[in-house]
């Protein structure tokens, strides 16, 4: 038997490293998003009358009856909605899969499931009931497209519900974003972003936690870099007071925190 190619082995290794037990919900989201995109390119109507449908969902100028062309897969407007829905879901699911997901991305998955599912269900309910240009009921039935989209809906919902919200991972992502903004010279945006991160960290996991202290140290550095030594010193004092609560349980983290504060203040 021929051995698998090296490239295939590497791809499988990368995939197995991504699809861990903790990221399985995100993998379900990726599958749901891909199914949604697949549903958009499959036929949404079949039958003898499917080729006669005009494009777009709008009243016909001659008869006043609504045209059913938007049910015909990529030929009309419904497919555009489903493509955008699937693309949004894929963006959110991939970020969850690589460990950069946040609450907003889980909300995007729920919204994609709701919009795509409702759109497909409505099309299934209306297919064959809307008259054509001549005012006649076309000889059509539903194609595979909307059914595939409906199969994707529970996968997207499961991904959103089962995905674990990691406050520490989210805090790290937000801090790195603020650092990148600062490095790009967008000082005001960077300060606002890190201030929001510190406020969120004080709510969860709370002021008495090393992770909150880490985010606070980064904000202290930013204040020093941008010429606000007074704010930096006051924030460092508050963080040092908060650190007394967690120092006994995390002595190594406390020593690192003290060194980082001293380095930040110069």
Q: Is the dihedral of CA 233, 234, 239, 241 positive or negative?
A: positive
Stated pTM of the model = 0.55
Tell me the sheet residues that pair with 45.
142
As a whole number, mean pLDDT of residues 160-188 equals 80
Tell me the sheet residues that pair with 63.
none
Backbone angles phi, psi at 59, to 5 degrees: -65, 135
Tokens coding 100: 């950069």
| Lowest-confidence region among 78-82, 102-106, 160-164, 261-265 | 78-82
Tokens coding 213: 């202290």
Distance from first CA to last CA of the chain, Å, rounded? 65
Mapping DSSP to helix (H, G, I), strand (E, B) and coil, where does residue 66 land? Answer: strand
- The Cα 123–Cα 214 span in angstroms is 51
Model confidence pLDDT, tens digit, residues 122-140: 878 877 776 656 667 777 7
What's the pLDDT score for residue 1? 39
- The Cα 35–Cα 28 span in angstroms is 11
């Amino acid at each position: 038997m021929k051995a698998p190619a090296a490239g295939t082995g590497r791809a499988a290794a990368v995939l197995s490293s991504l699809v861990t037990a903790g990221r399985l919900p995100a993998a379900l989201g990726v599958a749901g998003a891909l199914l949604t995109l697949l549903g958009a390119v499959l036929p949404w109507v079949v039958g003898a009358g499917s080729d006669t449908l005009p494009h777009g969902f709008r009243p016909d100028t001659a008869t006043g009856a609504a045209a059913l062309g938007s049910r015909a897969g990529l030929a009309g407007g419904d497919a555009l909605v489903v493509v955008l829905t699937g693309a949004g879901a894929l963006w959110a699911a991939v970020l969850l899969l690589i460990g950069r997901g946040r609450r907003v991305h889980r909300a995007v998955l729920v919204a994609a499931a709701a919009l795509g599912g409702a759109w497909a269900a409505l099309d299934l309910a209306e297919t064959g009931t809307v008259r054509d240009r001549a005012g006649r009921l076309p000889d059509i039935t539903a194609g595979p497209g909307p059914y595939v989209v409906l199969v994707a809906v529970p996968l997207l919902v499961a991904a959103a519900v089962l995905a674990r919200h990691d406050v520490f991972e989210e805090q790290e992502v937000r801090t790195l974003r603020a650092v990148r903004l600062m490095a790009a010279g967008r000082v005001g945006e960077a300060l606002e972003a890190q201030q929001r991160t510190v406020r969120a960290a004080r709510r969860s996991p709370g002021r008495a936690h090393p992770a909150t202290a880490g985010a606070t140290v980064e904000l202290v550095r930013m204040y020093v870099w941008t010429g606000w030594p007074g704010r930096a010193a006051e924030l460092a004092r508050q963080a040092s007071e908060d650190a007394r609560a967690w120092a006994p349980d995390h002595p190594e983290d406390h020593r690192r925190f003290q060194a980082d504060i001293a380095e930040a203040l110069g």
